[in-house]
Amino acid sequence: MLSWLQHRWIGLWLLLMALGALMLFFYGFFPLKYHSGKLARMDDLPNFIDGVSIDGQEVYNAGENSVVLMVIDGLRYDFASEEYMPFTGELLKNKSACIYVSVAEPPTVTMPRIKAMMTGSISTFADVALNFGAPAVRGDSVLRVASVRGRRSVLYGDDTWLRLFPGLWAEYDGTTSFYVTDYTEVDNNVTRHLDKVLTPDDDKEPTFDFLVLHYLGLDHIGHLEGARSPKIKPKLIEMDEVVKKIYIAMQTWDRTGVLIVCGDHGMRDAGGHGGATPAEVLIPLVVVKSGDFQCPHPRGPGPTVKQVDVATTVAWLLRAPPPGDSAGRVLPALLPADTRQHLYLLHALAAHCARHGLPTDTEFYKQFKRAEKQFAQYLATGQMSAAKIAKEFYDESLEAMSKYLTETTGEFDLFAISFATILLYIIAASLLCATLYSLQPDIRKPSTHHQPSTASLFVAFMIMFIIFSGVLVISCFITETKSQFCSFDPLWSIAFFGTVFALTVVYFVIKTGIETITDMSALRDLNAIDYLLIGGTLFHSWSFFGTSFIEEEHMTWYFFWNTLMFFVLIRTIVVIVMYFSKRLSRATEIQEKPELEQRMSSVGISILPKWVILIALHRYLRTMNQTGDRWLFLPDTADWLNAPENVFYLQAHLIIGTLSTLGICLWNVRHMNNSVHIHTALTIAAACSILCYRIAAGALDSPFPILKTWDTVTIVNIFWGILIAQLIYEILTYVGIFKNCGCSPNQNVNKFEYKKPKAKSEDYFYEPMDEPWNIDDVKLSLARSLSHIILNDLMLIIILLMRPHNVIMVPSVIATCSLTSKCLDHRLLDSRPGRGKDIADLISQTLVHIWIGMVFFFYQGNSNSLASVDLGAGYVGLSEYCAVRVGARMGLHAYAAPALAAAALHCRLARTHQWKRYLASVWRVSNIYALHRVYTLAVYCVVAVVFRHHLFVWSVFSPKLLYDFVATVFSIQALTTIAQIVLLTSLTSWLARIFTYKSTL
C-alpha cells in the first residue's frame, strides 16, 4: 500500500471521500420535513364539545370572502410606514387596517417561507438547499383544501408557487424569481393583470376566491444595491399604489374582500437575507378588509403573530379546514365577533393541533381540556363567565401548542451523523499520515522494505473490507436504528458499501503511514512564526464551540493576522539589524556566505517600509465592509463610497483596482510564451472589456456616451472569448502548431523550444523513445505558464464580478501574498544554519496563503450568514437565469480571496527550475490543503452534533455547515485544476512528440 501514500493526488482522493462523509452527515443532520400525510376534510371538524352537540360545519363559517394575498418579497417591518407607503400608512392611521409584526423562522429565503404560509408548518433548514429547485409540496396546503372546496385560486408573480403547488391554480402567470438584475419588468408582469382580475362580473362578484400576488422587484433592488438604495422608496410607493388599487376595487364588490399584505422575509441593510437578524425575520403583516372594517387594536402594531398563521387564516376565510399539518392561529383582527362562533373556531384549531400527537401530560394540553369543559358549559348554560374563561384557556393552550409544533423538527439521524463524524476523523488521520510521509526528505529514494505482491495486497484489502462490512452491519442491528443508511435498499446499499470501501482505504493508508514515517527531521527547521501559523490553524476550528466565534469568525482571523504581521515586522527588523551589524563588523559569517548578502540585497532595507505600508493597507481594507452580526449596523467605508456625493472616490477605487490588477497581469505575462506580445494584447483587451462593462452598467463615467449604450451581455461574452482564446493559444504554441505552420516565434521569448543536446561522442546511441529531449524543462514551462494564465484569468473574472468598492481587494490579495512570501522565506531571514529548508518553507507558505484567503474573505464582507451571499454577482453578463452559471459565479465571487491566494501559491511553486521538484512541491502542498480542510470539517461536525439542540442551531451552526460544504467543493475544484495542469502537460507532450520532434530531426 506504499504506492498509495506516494501517489501525487492522494490528498485529492481522500478529500473526495471526506465530501462523501460530509454528505452523509448532512443527510442525518438536515432531515427533510416530516409530513403526516393527513389531508384535512370538513368532516374532521368536531361536532361534540365534551359531550355537548354542535353542528361544526354550520358554525365554522366565515361567510363569502375573496382573499388577496399580496407578498412583497423582501418587505421588512420598517418599510410598512407612512414615509414609504403613504396610502397604507393612512389606512393604519385611520384604523381601517391592522398591522402585525410577523416572525419568519430561519432560513429566511423565499421557498421555505412560502411553504410556511401555505402549509402552516415550519420548514426544516434543508429547504434552503432546495430553494433553487423548489420540489412540489407533498403535504397538505391551503391551496389543496381550497380546491377541494371548489374555490378558485389565481397566481400572478413568482413562479416558485407554481413549482411548489402544481395543478392547483385556475389561472396563473409566473415570473422567474432568480434573475435579480430585473426589478421593473418582473413587477410590471404582475400589475398588468390587476385591472382584469379585480374587475367584478355582472353580479359584482370577483372572479376569484383566492388571489396571490408575489412582487419581486423590492428584493432584487436589495440584492443589488442594499436596503438603503435610493430605488427602495420609489419601489415601495409603486407597491403602495397597488394596495390602493386593490382596496378601491374591493369596495365595489358585493362579496367581502380581505387583503393581506406581507413579506416572505426581510432584508439586511446590505441587502441580503437568509439569516436570523431582526431585519430579516421581522416582517409586517397588514390586514385590510372591505366595508366598515375597524381594527380592534390600538394604533400601532397588534400582537406578534407567526408566519404560519397565514395558512390557518386564509383557510378560515375560504371556509376550508386548516391544512393537515398546520400549527397556526387565525389573525386576531379576523376572528368572528359572535361568541359561540369565536369559541368554536378556537376549539377547532386547538383540537386540530392536539391531533398532531401532542403529549397529553403537558400543561398546555391540560389547559386545552379545561377550556373544552368551560366551552361546553357555555353551550349548555349560556354563561358568559364560562365563555370568558374558555377563551382565556384556549388562547393560552393554542399559543403553547403552536410554539411546541413549530419548534419541533424532524428527528436527527444519529447513526448517520455519528458514523459520518467518525469517518471524517479517520480520513483526517489518514491525511495526516499522508502529509507527514510527504514531508520526509529524500522520500523518492527506493524503499528498502519488502514489498508484498499485488495478489497478497488484494487479499488483505478484501479481508479488511469484509471485516469492516460486518462490523457496520452488526452496528446497524445492535443500535436498532431506523436510519435509511442501514435500510439496505439498492441505492442506499451503494452508499453503505461505498463508505466501507472508503473506511478500508483509509485504514491501509494509516497503517502504511505509521510503518513508513521515520524521518521528520525537516520539521526541526520550523521557526517561531511557523509554530504560530500551525497553532493558530489548529485552534481556529476548536474556537467554534462558542457561538459568538461562529457569528464573528472574522474577529478571530483579524486577531490571528494582526498577530502574524506584528511578529513578522519585529522579526524582520531584528534579522536586518543583525545582518547589517555583522556586515559593518566584517563578521566571518558574512564573508563566507556571499549568497546571504545576495539574497539580502535583493530585498534590501526597503522591505520594512513595504511591510509597514502593507499593515496600513490591511487596516484600511478591514474598514471596507462591516461583517458578522454584532457590528453589522455600523457604517463602513463601503457605505461612504456608495453615497451619491462620493461617486468620484468610488470610481477612483474602481479604476485603481482595475488598473492595478492589469499591471499585475502584465507582470505575470513574462512567465508565458508571449510571442509577438499576443498575451499582452489579449490581457489588455480583457481589461478594456471590463471597463466597458462598468461604463455600460453605469458604474463608471466615460467621455464617450456611446459606450453606455453597449449591451453588457455582449461585452461579457467578448471577455470570456478573450480568456478562452488566450488559453488555446498557449497550448497550441506548446504543441508547436505555429512553428510547423511557418510562423516561427521570437526565440528570445519562446519558452517552449524543443532541443536535443549533442551526444558526448559520435558512437553514443539513443533509442528513439529515449532521446534526451528537454521534455521536463518544456513541461515545467507549460505548467508555469498555465498557472499564471489561470491566476490572471481569476483576477480579471473576479474584478468583473465584484462590487466596485471591492475591486481594490484583488491586487491587495496578490500584493499581500507576494510580500508575505518574501518575509517568510526561511533561507532569507532564518538566522540558524542548516541545509535547504524547502519543506519548512512549503509548510509556512501554504498555511499563510490559507490565512490570507480567509482574512480577505471577511474583508470582502462575507460572513457565516446566508444573508452575506451576493446574488447580484451571479447575473453579471447573463440575460436569462441559468442555475449552473449563476451558481458558479456566486461561488467564485464569495470565495474569490481563497481562490486567488491558492492560485498565487501554485504560481510560486511553478517558478522552480526543476520539474521533479515542482511535482514534489505540488504533492506536499495538496496534502496540506486537504488535511486542513478535512480537519476543519471533522472538528466542526463535532461542534454541530454537540449543539444540535441549541437555540441557534438553525440560525448560526447550520449556515456554517453549508459554508464548509461549499468550501470543500471549491477545495476539490482547486486541487483538480492543479491535477489538470499536470495532466495537460503530459497530454500536450504526447501531441508535441507527433508535431514537433519529427520536424526537428
Tell me the DSSP string of 548-612.
Answer: HHHHTHHHHHHHHHHHHHHHHHHHHHHHHHHHHHHHHTT-HHHHH-HHHHHHHHHH-TTHHHHHH
Residue 345 in domain: no
Q: What is the pLDDT of residue 510?
A: 92
Among 253-262, 675-684, 848-857, name the one with the lowest average pLDDT: 675-684
User: Which residue bears the cell 466501507?
Assistant: 500
Same domain, 471 and 558: no
Measured in residues, the chain has a length of 1001
Of 989 and 86, more confident = 86
pLDDT at 769: 47
* DSSP of 646-688: GHHHHHHHHHHHHHHHHHHHHHHGGGS--GGGHHHHHHHHHHH
- Residue 846 above 50 pLDDT? yes
State the total domains in the chain: 3
Instruction: Decide which of 183 and 803 is more confident.
Output: 803
Angle between helix axes 678-696 and 647-668 (nearest 10 degrees) is 160
pLDDT reading at 836 higher than 60: no
> How far apart, in Å, are the Cα atoms of 961 and each of 124, 550, 864?
15, 11, 9
* Domain finish residue from 498, 516, 534: 516
- The reported pLDDT for the residue numbered 410 is 59
Cβ atoms of 741 and 680 within 8 Å: the answer is: no
Burial of 799 (0-12, 13-18, 19+ CB in 10 A): buried
pLDDT of the residue at 303: 86
Asked whether the predicted pLDDT for residue 591 surpasses 60, the reply is: no
Whether the Cβ atoms of residue 611 and residue 568 lie closer than 8 Å to each other: yes
Out of 444-458, 627-641, 840-854, 862-876, least confident range: 444-458
Question: Is residue 595's pLDDT more than 80?
Answer: no
Q: How far apart are CA 645 and CA 666, in angstroms?
A: 34
Mean pLDDT of all residues in 612-621: 94
The helix/strand count (H/E) of the chain reads as 39, 10
Closest by alpha carbon to 286, among 92, 76, 119, 94? Answer: 92
Q: 880 and 771 share a domain?
A: yes
Amino acid in the structure at residue 12:
L
pLDDT band at 492; cut points 50, 70, 90: confident
Which of the two residues, 422 and 827, has the higher pLDDT score?
Answer: 422
C-beta separation of 170 from 213 below 8 A: no
- Predicted pLDDT at 715: 94
Find the largest Cα–Cα distance for the chain: 124
Range of the domain at 282: 65-327
Average pLDDT over residues 767-791: 77
Q: What is the pTM of this model?
A: 0.86
Cα 63 to Cα 289: distance, rounded to the nearest angstrom: 13
Query: Do 506 and 543 belong together in one domain?
Result: no
Q: Are residues 551 and 465 in the same domain?
A: no
Give the confidence band of 834 by pLDDT, cuts at 50, 70, 90. Answer: very low
**pLDDT of amino acid 747:** 44
What is residue 903's predicted lDDT score, i.e. its pLDDT? 96
Strand order in the sheet with 97-103: 171-175, 153-158, 210-215, 65-72, 256-262, 282-289, 97-103, 305-306
Whole-number Å distance between alpha carbons of 328 and 310: 7
Distance CA 391, CA 397 (A): 10
298, 327, 356 — which closes off a domain?
Answer: 327
- The predicted pLDDT at position 773 comes to 62
Residue 701 lies in a domain: yes
Greater pLDDT, 920 or 2: 920
- Find all residues with CB under 8 Å of 199, minimum gap 6, and list them: 207, 249
Q: Are 24 and 416 in contact (CB under 8 A)?
A: yes
Q: Which three cell numbers stand for residue 464?
A: 479488511
Q: Is the pLDDT of residue 297 over 50?
A: yes
Would you state the pLDDT for residue 1000? 45
Confidence of residue 168 (pLDDT cuts 50, 70, 90): very high
Q: Are 311 and 326 in contact (CB under 8 A)?
A: yes
Q: Is residue 403 part of a domain?
A: no
Cβ neighbours of 152 (radius 10 Å): 16
Query: Pick the residue with more confidence: 879 or 425?
Result: 425
Q: Quick one: average pLDDT of 286-293?
A: 90
Instruction: Lowest mean pLDDT of 104-108, 122-126, 466-470, 812-816, name the range.
Output: 122-126
Q: Give the chain's end-to-end CA distance (angstroms, integer).
A: 43
863 with 719, same domain?
yes
Name the pLDDT band for 662 (thresholds 50, 70, 90).
Answer: very high
Would residue 334 count as lying in a domain? no
pLDDT above 90 as % of the chain: 46
pLDDT above 70: residue 746: no
The answer to whether residues 460 and 558 belong to one domain is no
The pLDDT tens digits for 900-920 are: 999 999 999 999 888 889 999
Judge if 540 and 495 occupy the same domain.
no
pLDDT of residue 63: 87
CB atoms within 10 A of CB 196: 9
Peptide bond into 107 cis (omega under 30): yes
Which of 176-190, 442-456, 659-673, 902-916 is predicted least confidently?
442-456
Residue 874 has pLDDT above 60, yes or no: yes
pLDDT surpasses 50 at 762: no
Residue 301 inside a domain? The answer is: yes
Look at residue 622 in the predicted model and tell me its pLDDT: 94
Residue 654, CB half-sphere, CA atoms under 13 Å: how many?
25
Position 999 confidence tier, pLDDT thresholds 50, 70, 90: very low
- pLDDT, one tens digit per residue, over 376-407 is 999 888 899 999 999 999 999 988 888 887 76
For residue 340, give the nearest of 59, 57, 56 by alpha carbon: 59
Query: Which of 57-61, 717-721, 760-764, 820-824 is predicted least confidently?
Result: 760-764
Digit-coded pLDDT (tens) for 943-959: 999 988 777 777 788 88
| Whether the Cβ atoms of residue 382 and residue 340 lie closer than 8 Å to each other | no
* CA distances, 607 to each of 48, 907, 908 (Å): 87, 22, 19
Residues 511 and 531 placed together within one structural domain of the fold: no
Question: Residue 537: which pLDDT band, with cuts at 50, 70 and 90?
Answer: very high
Give domain status of residue 708, yes or no. Answer: yes
In this structure, are 764 and 629 located in the same domain? yes
Q: Is the pLDDT of residue 588 over 70?
A: no
Chosen domain end from 463, 488, 516: 516
Structure confidence by residue, pLDDT tens digits, 241-254 = 999 999 999 999 99
Average pLDDT of span 573-581: 73
Shared-domain flag, residues 550 and 694:
yes
Mean predicted lDDT score pLDDT of the chain: 85
Q: Are residues 533 and 509 in the same domain?
A: no
Q: State mean pLDDT over 722-726.
A: 93
Does residue 830 have a pLDDT over 80? no
Residue 968 in contact with residue 19, Cβ under 8 Å?
yes
pLDDT over 70 for what percent of the chain?
87
Let me know if residue 363 belongs to a domain.
no
Q: Which residue has the higher pLDDT, 422 or 877?
A: 422
> What is the pLDDT, as a whole number, of residue 1001?
41
| Listed residue (921, 898, 930) closest to 842, CA to CA | 921
Residue 640 lies in a domain: yes
Kindly state whether residues 865 and 929 are assigned to the same domain: yes
**Max avg pLDDT among 32-36, 67-71, 278-282, 448-452:** 67-71
